[in-house]
Amino acid sequence: MTEMLNLDPAITDPERIVAQVLDRCMRQSDSHVHIEPCETGYRLRCRQGDELRPAGTLSRSNGERLVAAARALARLSDPRIPEDGYFVVQSVAYWVTTIPVLEGQALVISRGLPDRYPDLDQVLSDHQKSAYFEALSRGKGLILLTGPMATDPAQAALGYHGLQFLQQLNGPDYPVATVEWAARGNLANVTRVVVSHREGITFHGSLKRLAEFGTKAFRVGELHDLATAEEAMRLTTQRRRIIVAGIPGTTDAAGALVRLVDMGVPVSAVADSVKLVLALRVLRRLCSACHKPVHVPRYSLLASGFPEDEVGDSLTLWEADRQGCKECTGGFSGLRYICQTMPMSKGVRAALIGGFQNVNDIDEAASADGARTLKQEILEAVRSGSIQLADADLAR
């Protein structure tokens, strides 16, 4: 019989709700807490190595409070789909992985970020990979990455592969560094800084100091504030540095550029430093062994954003077989990454400097120069059968 843990009803702060449970059930040697709904409420188990041991139970209402608090901290938004995110408490990163189950939400909280990141080929098409490597090999400039929290592992992977590519190009002693909220796993020949505002280790300060030490290329978790963004602009335009940096809180490539301007960076600095923007999405991938064809009529396709000239009377697309098969769970198998790439073309540059009104002006300029919008990339994934049309809206 395992102990029923009680949560203090007076505590409403999500961080303190989660901390109550982690403090009471996690031992120093534990790496994970599993939180799962059961008949009587929620069951907690802790993992040490491959061993799972019971760590108590929660009433249904307390379990729901805990799940809601962990989801809020990790900034997860959609309980209908499996999601990943993380939060940082006292300089320790906790990774949250969720899955919707019959009785509600099951989730796992683990200390530190996952060891495994997606491969570059899972995230970028061949054409997009060439664009990314081409931007890196220019020897200076800023490359922006954006997308929801769930794409953080993919953003980290893009950053590391970029640094590796530069070391292949310039030799293994080419000095590279990462500046991030949390770091896990070993990366050979990479200087790594973990940001901790409590201890005075900031994005801005770390970037500046590492550049003084001679670092040539950086992966920066996020351009956290104006000082960091301005330092990144200065290093990439005046000091021949290469920076691959995350922009939080934006949904697509044009949004990332506008976010920098909104932060207070002069448009000319954005236009001069940024070479390429990559915007990411991640969705559940349809199982190709059991997916079912579905005939979608013209009006639905148009409503979903398919262009008039591509749509006849109907299109045959694919949807999940909820029964699933031995290859999958409920018709889905793994994750499908979608990426939009927007180079700083002549048109985008002109739109930026010429006083754009909103993100649409930048999107139109990019499209006129041959770039594809995030929506086009998402519809392409629908057309190819790797995601279902019903999920496409979740990606926007």
**Site residues (CB under 5 A) for Zn ion?**
287, 289-290, 325, 327-328
Task: Report CA torsion sign: 14, 20, 21, 22.
Answer: positive
Name the minimum Å distance from CB 86 to Zn ion.
29
> What do you get for the CA distance between the two ends of the chain, in Å?
46
Name the minimum Å distance from CB 162 to Zn ion.
34
Nearest residue to 275 via CA among 154, 138, 123 = 138
The Cα 159–Cα 165 span in angstroms is 10
Q: Tell me whether residue 294 or residue 325 sits nearer to Zn ion (CB atom).
A: 325
Name the minimum Å distance from CB 164 to Zn ion.
34
Name the minimum Å distance from CB 387 to Zn ion.
14
Q: Cα 350 from chain centroid?
A: 29
For 218, the enclosing helix (H) or strand (E) is: strand 217-220
Q: Tell me whether residue 99 or residue 302 sits nearer to Zn ion (CB atom).
A: 99
The Cα 365–Cα 296 span in angstroms is 31
Name the minimum Å distance from CB 127 to Zn ion.
29
Name the minimum Å distance from CB 188 to Zn ion.
38
- DSSP secondary structure letter of residue 345: -
Distances (CA, A) of 254 to 340, 356, 396: 10, 11, 13
Q: Tell me whether residue 13 or residue 327 sits nearer to Zn ion (CB atom).
A: 327
- Listed in sequence order, the DSSP H helices in the chain are 14-25, 60-73, 120-123, 126-136, 152-170, 203-212, 226-238, 253-263, 267-273, 298-304, 346-353, 359-368, 374-383, 389-392
Name the minimum Å distance from CB 388 to Zn ion.
13
Nearest residue to 230 via CA among 272, 194, 178 = 272
Residue nearest to Zn ion according to CB distances in the complex: 287
Q: Tell me whether residue 99 or residue 350 sits nearer to Zn ion (CB atom).
A: 99
Name the minimum Å distance from CB 285 to Zn ion.
11
Q: Tell me whether residue 290 or residue 378 sits nearer to Zn ion (CB atom).
A: 290
Beta bridge partners of 242: 141, 217
Task: Report CA torsion sign: 233, 234, 236, 238.
Answer: positive
Q: Tell me whether residue 310 or residue 327 sits nearer to Zn ion (CB atom).
A: 327
Q: Tell me whether residue 307 or residue 334 sits nearer to Zn ion (CB atom).
A: 334
Say whether 18 sits in a helix, a strand or coil.
helix
Name the minimum Å distance from CB 333 to Zn ion.
6
Q: Tell me whether residue 279 or residue 287 sits nearer to Zn ion (CB atom).
A: 287
Q: Tell me whether residue 134 or residue 327 sits nearer to Zn ion (CB atom).
A: 327
Distances (CA, A) of 161 to 135, 157, 190, 301: 13, 6, 12, 37
Total count of residues recorded for the chain: 396
